[in-house]
Structure 1
């Protein structure tokens, strides 16, 4: 028996922060939309990877944890009762601008006039360090790639490896929880916001974090999945053992667009080029926003994804309502429409 297709104006692929805000922007323009995500809950990486990680670049929020940001976006969207398909992976896209058909791995079919891809990094997983015996320590929880609850690291001796924002942010977030915290990087230069670098220098000076530079991971020592020490090596081959029971390697995510890459759009290294003024892809009627979208001058910040969500929604309006002019009003005067 063929399932009746779900009808909507805009199908939004991805229910992370950018996808949720895109749904809000569409709803404010009276565009019906549907959120689709492969995860069992909304929130994307904010909830799946770092619900307790503070985010500092959301306007009007000096600091907000990932899970709280999603809760705020959900509250903002709540008056519109936007439907969602969770635990559904988009497998197929056919049709054209104004008349698309999408299919999921669960057999659902969606008819939409436009599509917004807010898939973040796509399918993602951690870049794992090439260390012997790594899997045993992963299985025991001694090696972890995500921090879901800071309380789980209370009193631990922790090695954090990496030189980017994630390594810096978690070193700063866990320094007051850990008994001992090492930060390992192959050079004494870290890629982070100036304020994070200032806080790192302060924590090092206060003895809360010990920088181990220029070193990189070399071996793990322990028995039956219980980590006892992390061995590091410098460029000259000199080794050093750091006594620790937890290793947090932050070497970025391995990403994959999955079926999206086969939909006929231009792609560049797991990202989708878009027109900056509209966020439309090379496939007319399909838009991409957030981390998955790329263009000259692109900043991979949630706040830029929010801006792209608004641009995409306004660009989609004439596709859904070709005979109606959009008279833009500020939300301060327009308010949230009664639904």
Structure 2
């Protein structure tokens, strides 16, 4: 075996919240695991898209920001010393249940008994608006697709474009730090939660947000990549230029399972059907949890992904330990096993 080969029990592909909790569940069962993620940091969309956005449906947490949730999950697996291969995409899979070999685009080779897919909707990136010189403004931060820190937009004039939850949520969240917020959408009807729609109308009435409807993005104005204005236009050709330090464009994400889609698993519209009781895919020894997994009654909630992580880990235990029965203990009596 090459010195560059990593031997483990379970390879977990995806280091978002569900993947991190899967690492914890594996650790509690004394299964060795390695986390692999295409991003350069753990946390998935929680870290990349909404680290400062509160999440309200995590048990025992009335509200917790995405970044804080990842910090807590990271602390939870610290006793297990889980290796992380970040900034890598798993490209190849060969072998069979109990004896898999995986390769990454950086040349890593991993040997594992089982694989857990916790890839969310797959690799993701923003749907970009078709505007001239867009790359120059992206390079300077004039055009952005994610909000990493609310403080970055203090006293700034913002044009927020989009008609869904993300556009409304950030318009409402940034109204108390930004100097001015324009919310641009092609029609005066938004696809968002009723409470957000109600809050938007109240904010518009108070002058905290200005709705620019029915308009679409037409052009970016500025010099040297420094944004000074965003030109918008109606379908009838009427146009206006909005003062802007930043354009935040929320037109959804383009997602792709990438090489995983070629592994021979059954798929339904970029999701992977699994057996609900084990989360095993149609490819024996490969399990899927979180948003990528689908089955009757599936809810795309982080808390359901946590449950699936536990079920997958328990289903993997007999693959790794075929001669040893699992005597399940509650964590209150078992404690946290040592990684040594």
TM-score by length of 2: 0.90
Q: Is residue 38–residue 123 contact of structure 2 (8 Å, CA) maintained in 1?
A: no
Structure-1 separation of matches of 2:236 and 2:298: 38
Q: Which residue of 1 aligns with 2:106?
A: 106
User: What is the CA deviation profile of residues 262-311 of structure 1, one whole-angstrom value per residue up to 9, with x for unaligned ones?
Assistant: 22212344332323332221211101122222334433332222222122
Structure-2 separation of matches of 1:213 and 1:325: 63
Count, aligned residues: 339
Q: Which residue of 2 aligns with 1:143?
A: 143
Moved over 6 A (4+): none
Q: Which residue of 2 aligns with 1:212?
A: 212
User: What is the CA deviation profile of residues 303-327 of structure 1, one whole-angstrom value per residue up to 9, with x for unaligned ones?
Assistant: 2222221221122222223334434
Q: Which residue of 1 aligns with 2:62?
A: 62
Q: Displacement of 1:235 after TM fit?
A: 4.6
User: Alignment partner of 1:248: what SS?
Assistant: strand
Q: Which residue of 2 aligns with 1:286?
A: 286
Q: Displacement of 1:237 after TM fit?
A: 4.2
Q: Which residue of 2 aligns with 1:277?
A: 277
User: Alignment partner of 1:74: what SS?
Assistant: helix
Q: Is residue 186–residue 214 contact of structure 1 (8 Å, CA) maintained in 2?
A: yes
User: Alignment partner of 1:146: what SS?
Assistant: coil
Q: Which residue of 1 aligns with 2:295?
A: 295
Aligned alpha-carbon RMSD (Å)? 2.3
User: What is the CA deviation profile of residues 158-194 of structure 1, one whole-angstrom value per residue up to 9, with x for unaligned ones?
Assistant: 0111122221221122111111111222333333334
Q: Which residue of 2 aligns with 1:168?
A: 168
Within 5 Å, which residues of 2 pair with 1:64-213? 64-213=64-213
Q: Which ranges of structure 1 fall in alignment gaps of 5 or more residues? A: none
Structure-1 separation of matches of 2:107 and 2:221: 47
Structure-2 separation of matches of 1:58 and 1:200: 25
Q: Displacement of 1:222 after TM fit?
A: 2.9
Pair 1:208–1:62, CA change in 2 (3 A): farther
Pair 1:139–1:88, CA change in 2 (3 A): closer
User: Alignment partner of 1:231: what SS?
Assistant: strand
Q: Is residue 158–residue 248 contact of structure 2 (8 Å, CA) maintained in 1?
A: yes
User: Alignment partner of 2:144: what SS?
Assistant: coil
Larger mean Cα displacement after TM superposition, 11-20 or 82-91: 82-91
Q: Which residue of 2 aligns with 1:33?
A: 33
Structure-2 separation of matches of 1:20 and 1:255: 21
